[in-house]
């Protein structure tokens, strides 16, 4: 799965949230100053070319919707991030954030509970 640019990801975040929409509806979810209609339209077509979005045509108007789920994209790119920056070790990643004080003890405990649950799921498969 290809990585999204920042602009593409902003559009995808909107589409994941609203499930489907016309360019005009996508624009409504941006703060001021809103991007130009043509800019959003171009980015949506790029996303379609990359296989992230498809559309339903109503004459010359298109309603767009995601074909890649947010969860699938997140999993793929989190794995790539952990591999590229933390030698494929979630332990090293959590340790890094703990050392940088960008994660609290409570958050660390929640992460550990989630990870323990995932380990149990993997063992039960």
- The total of structural domains in the chain comes to 2
pLDDT digit string, tens, across residues 64-73:
999 999 999 9
- Rounded CA-CA distance 43/5 in Å is 10
- Do 75 and 112 belong to one domain? yes
**Amino acid 54: pLDDT:** 98
Q: What is the pTM of this model?
A: 0.72
Cα distances (Å, whole numbers) of residue 13 to 41, 67, 87: 15, 13, 28
Number of other residues whose CB lies within 10 A of the CB of residue 122: 8
- Do 58 and 95 belong to one domain? no
Which residues of the chain are modeled with pLDDT < 70? 116-125
**Amino acid 63: pLDDT:** 98
**Amino acid 42: pLDDT:** 97
**Amino acid 123: pLDDT:** 66
Query: Which residue range forms the structural domain that includes residue 95?
Result: 70-124
Q: Are 44 and 20 in contact (CB under 8 A)?
A: no
**Amino acid 64: pLDDT:** 98
The gap between the terminal CA atoms of the chain, to the nearest Å, is 26
Q: With respect to residue 28, please indicate whether it lies within any of the assigned structural domains.
A: yes
CATH assignment at residue 30:
1.10.10.10
**Amino acid 121: pLDDT:** 66
**Amino acid 104: pLDDT:** 77
């Amino acid at each position: 799965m290809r990585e999204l640019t920042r602009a593409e990801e902003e559009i995808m975040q909107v589409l994941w949230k609203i499930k489907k929409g016309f360019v005009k509806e996508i624009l409504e979810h941006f703060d001021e100053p809103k991007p130009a209609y043509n800019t959003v339209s171009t980015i949506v077509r790029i996303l379609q070319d990359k296989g992230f979005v498809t559309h339903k045509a109503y004459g010359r108007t298109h309603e767009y919707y995601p074909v890649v789920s947010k969860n699938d994209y997140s999993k793929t790119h989190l794995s790539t991030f952990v591999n590229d920056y933390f030698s494929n070790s979630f332990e090293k990643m959590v340790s890094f954030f703990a050392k940088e004080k960008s994660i609290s003890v409570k958050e660390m405990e929640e992460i550990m509970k989630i990870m323990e649950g995932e380990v149990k799921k993997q063992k039960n498969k």
